Amino acid sequence: MKRIKDILGSNVMPSQTSCTNLISDTDQPYSLDKVKCPICDDRGIVLKGDIAYPCHCMQTKKLENQFRHARISRDLMKCRFDKFRFDFYSSELIDQNHRDGAVKALRAARGFVDECLQNPYGLGIVFTGPVGSGKTYLAACIANELMESDLKVLFIVVPDLLDELRATYKSELNELDLLDTARTIPILILDDLGAHNYTDWTRNRLYSIINYRLNEQLPTVITSNLSLDEMEDYIGLRTTSRIIQSSRIFRLTVQKDIRLQIYQEREGKK
């Protein structure tokens, strides 16, 4: 059986590594704390005479429930396309490739959202690149945009998924519930598909998820610090081949970890 690099030839990308948040600290768009609505006192309706109207707080509660269901972290709820900062990718001519890659990735992420809103079936998207290059930020932007348009999204950090699958090893029902959700959710985001301690058992579970979604044409967003060759070595040729078949692949690179840039920017202001 041919290896991935033989199939793709010179298009195989070099080794890469994981995620980041591209914006400085800001207020969360949605609070998950339980605070009574001053208008309806958490009843969800407002009475005007004999007529009951839905309170505007119901939309906020709906979004909060979507974020809980999606399992996206509080920090990632802040990620938005319009806050994507190209200055992190350097404006110097020598680093133009970093910026060009970021432009293409951002454009692809926005395009992916538009496609999902028009058609729930289609190709997924893969972001690869070194640590602190913005992969998770773009994946979170996608999740937030889609949830705000009432699409169902599940955001899973791959190491956490593998830990949960191992924890359900002796409970077949719980394992099937978790796998079924990952297989069938309209939009699945697998964050940080990296060099973890994969076993044949966990590789088979990942294959089951990816293969099902490929066959049903359910789009998947993946971020990874692995090159395609490394991905093949860690999760297997079958799964890697299906990821390539079902996705558009974009690479993000930076000269300096964006987390470090944010830290230096924040400390410099003090």
Q: Does residue 68 or residue 236 have the better pLDDT?
A: 236
Tell me what percent of the chain is helix, strand and coil, each rounded to the nearest 5.
Answer: 55, 10, 35
Q: Is 169 helix (H, G, I), strand (E, B) or coil?
A: coil
Average pLDDT over residues 174-192: 87
- What is this structure's pTM? 0.75
For tokens 């099937």, the residue is: 176
Whether residue 16 is predicted with pLDDT greater than 60 in this model: the reply is no
Question: What does the pLDDT read at residue 255?
Answer: 87
Give, in degrees to the nearest 5, the angle at Cα 193 between 187 and 196. 145
pLDDT tens digits for 216-238?
Answer: 999 999 999 999 999 999 999 99
**Sequence ranges of the domains in the chain:** 4-28+74-268
Average pLDDT over residues 135-153: 94
Q: Does residue 152 or residue 220 have the better pLDDT?
A: 220
Q: Does residue 83 or residue 67 have the better pLDDT?
A: 83
Question: What does the pLDDT read at residue 195?
Answer: 80
The structure tokens listed for 233 are 């070595």
Task: Name the pLDDT band for 5 (thresholds 50, 70, 90).
Answer: low
Q: Is 104 helix (H, G, I), strand (E, B) or coil?
A: helix
Average pLDDT over residues 110-132: 96
- Stated as kind and residue range, the H or E segment containing 124 is strand 124-128
Which of 4-8, 31-35, 259-263 ranks highest by mean pLDDT?
Answer: 259-263
Alpha helices, H only, the chain: 4-8, 57-70, 96-118, 135-148, 158-167, 172-184, 200-216, 228-235, 237-246, 258-268
Average pLDDT over residues 123-129: 97
Question: What does the pLDDT read at residue 70?
Answer: 60
Q: Are strands 220-224 and 153-157 parallel, antiparallel or unpaired?
A: unpaired
The structure tokens listed for 124 are 């997924």
Question: What does the pLDDT read at residue 22?
Answer: 45
Given 1.20.1440.120, 3.40.630.30, 2.60.40.10, 3.40.50.300, which CATH number is that of 4-28+74-268?
Answer: 3.40.50.300
